[in-house]
């Protein structure tokens, strides 16, 4: 999607910096010895606010200093996502019963639907010319542009003949974007913060790199582009702590695995396991169990392309990967210009993981020191 190409994404640089500054300002109001145990939620708040503004021109107000849950849509999204986790890991019949009978889920879904339809209507209320212009820069405008002109007429056609999306189909697309667009990136950010508290040398090296390109606290796009070690750290976070266990493809023809000649048949589902590939010693020179961002500068610079697949691959690879990488780079650079993450203690910051919609760090307790 052209909207998620770098040329468009970089227009959001100031917006991402401003949102990060808001979170930093909230953190600075806390006592310096405070151990932050809600890092996963704080990262979600940051990415939700950014994604809402970038994609939907909508302020979810999650960085509100007094109440991050003030907005009705934000609250509904959190409820909806917790029930999605339950449904995702339950047998289909249990999932259907739960979503049909659970009052909180039904209420959250109704609120989300009302807001999304409102977003669509606001977009449709613009003139044709304004919509055509906005389509080039704004996700919601671009999605609304695919709405069917005459839904009733389209409904009478066969599936192959139909063009565009109905309002309900668009609702589901927008909801999928909302969920995929913030939960993933925020989980990577939470793993990053946990990793920094555990690997102070890496954090120190990143700060040195930042200081070498920016002596004052400004941050420009050119400076950001020159932060090579920071890119290595992001890659190592994605390798060391994959946030999804893998992806699945269904075979459209019979095939055999190249080395073992193992027979696969049309219709078989094949799991591509991200964690195993990223930790398989056959594909990496430096110990795969060490957290070593330098590997991407040296020995493992030319690793097998399929050994690291955090965003999947092929036709169905992640549409938002350039946006996610850009958001992460800006946020991390901005944070490390101002703060140092410290280890809150062996028990409270013991890591481990929790599998929700993504694989999240379970026990994170960090101190946040301002310099």
Q: Residue 312, interface with ligand HEM (CB under 6 A)?
A: yes
Question: Which of 52, 293, 310, 344 is in the footprint of ligand HEM by CB under 6 A?
Answer: 310
Question: Which of 241, 311, 326, 341 is in the footprint of ligand HEM by CB under 6 A?
Answer: 311
CB of residue 271 to ligand HEM, shortest distance in Å: 11
Q: Residue 181, interface with ligand HEM (CB under 6 A)?
A: yes
Q: Residue 68, interface with ligand HEM (CB under 6 A)?
A: no
- How many residues in the chain? 371
Enclosing H/E stretch for 159: none
CB of residue 16 to ligand HEM, shortest distance in Å: 12
Residue whose Cβ sits closest to ligand HEM: 312
Region from 70-78, 179-187, 205-213, 345-353 binding ligand HEM, contact rule CB under 6 A? 179-187
Distance CA 140, CA 179 (A): 14
Question: Which of 52, 293, 320, 361 is in the footprint of ligand HEM by CB under 6 A?
Answer: 320
- Per the CB < 8 A criterion, the answer to whether 51 and 178 are in contact is yes
Residue with tokens 């938002």: 320
Region from 59-67, 203-211, 311-319, 338-346 binding ligand HEM, contact rule CB under 6 A? 311-319
Q: Residue 10, interface with ligand HEM (CB under 6 A)?
A: no
Q: Residue 50, interface with ligand HEM (CB under 6 A)?
A: no
Residue 272, classed as helix, strand or coil, is strand
- Please give the residues from 187 up to 246 whose contact with ligand HEM meets the rule CB under 6 A: 188, 243-244
Q: How crowded is the C-beta side of 338, counted as CA atoms within 13 Å?
A: 19
Distance CA 235, CA 196 (A): 14
Give the tokens for residue 190. Answer: 């939470």
Q: Which residues contact 100 (CB under 8 A, 6 or more apart)?
A: 106
> Annotated binding residue at 43?
no
Q: How far is CA 368 from CA 11, 42, 71, 153, 204, in A?
A: 29, 13, 27, 58, 14
Q: Residue 247, interface with ligand HEM (CB under 6 A)?
A: yes
Measured from the CB atom, the residue of 324 and 333 that comes closer to ligand HEM is 324
- Per the CB < 8 A criterion, the answer to whether 41 and 193 are in contact is no
List the beta bridge partners of residue 341: 368
Question: Which of 200, 267, 313, 369 is in the footprint of ligand HEM by CB under 6 A?
Answer: 313
| Contact set with ligand HEM (CB under 6 A) | 177, 180-181, 184-185, 188, 243-244, 247, 310-313, 316-320, 323-324
């Amino acid at each position: 999607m052209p909207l998620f190409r770098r040329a468009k994404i970089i227009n959001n640089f100031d917006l991402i910096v401003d949102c990060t500054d808001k979170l930093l300002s909230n953190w600075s109001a806390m006592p310096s010895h405070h151990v932050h145990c809600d890092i996963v939620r704080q990262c979600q708040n940051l990415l939700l606010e950014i994604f809402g503004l970038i994609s939907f021109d909508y302020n979810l107000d999650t960085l509100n200093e007094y109440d991050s849950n003030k907005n009705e849509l934000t609250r509904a999204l959190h409820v909806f996502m917790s029930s999605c986790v339950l449904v995702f890991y339950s047998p289909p019949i249990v999932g259907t019963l739960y979503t049909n009978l659970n009052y909180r889920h039904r209420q959250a879904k109704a609120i989300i639907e009302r807001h999304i339809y409102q977003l669509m209507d606001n977009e449709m209320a613009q003139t044709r010319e304004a919509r055509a212009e906005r389509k080039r820069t704004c996700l919601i405008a671009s999605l609304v542009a695919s709405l069917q002109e005459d839904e009733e007429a389209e409904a009478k056609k066969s599936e192959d003949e139909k063009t565009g999306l109905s309002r309900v189909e668009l609702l589901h697309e927008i909801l999928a974007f909302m969920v995929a667009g913030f939960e993933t990136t925020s989980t990577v950010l939470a793993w990053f913060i946990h990793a920094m508290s555990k690997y102070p040398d890496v954090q120190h090296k990143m700060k040195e790199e930042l200081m070498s390109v920016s002596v004052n606290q400004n941050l420009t796009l050119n400076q950001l582009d020159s932060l090579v070690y920071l890119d290595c750290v992001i890659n190592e976070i994605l390798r060391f702590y994959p946030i999804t266990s893998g992806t699945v493809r269904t075979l459209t023809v019979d095939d055999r695995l190249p080395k073992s000649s193992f027979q696969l048949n049309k219709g078989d589902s094949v799991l591509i396991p991200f964690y195993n590939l990223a930790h398989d010693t056959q594909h990496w020179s430096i110990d795969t169990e060490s957290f070593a961002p330098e590997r991407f500068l040296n020995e493992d610079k030319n690793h097998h392309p399929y050994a690291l697949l955090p965003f999947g691959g092929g036709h169905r690879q992640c549409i938002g990967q350039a946006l996610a990488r850009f958001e992460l780079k800006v946020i991390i650079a901005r944070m490390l210009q101002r703060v140092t993450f410290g280890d809150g203690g062996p028990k409270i910051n013991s890591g481990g993981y929790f599998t929700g919609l993504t694989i999240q760090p379970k026990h994170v307790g960090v101190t946040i020191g301002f310099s």
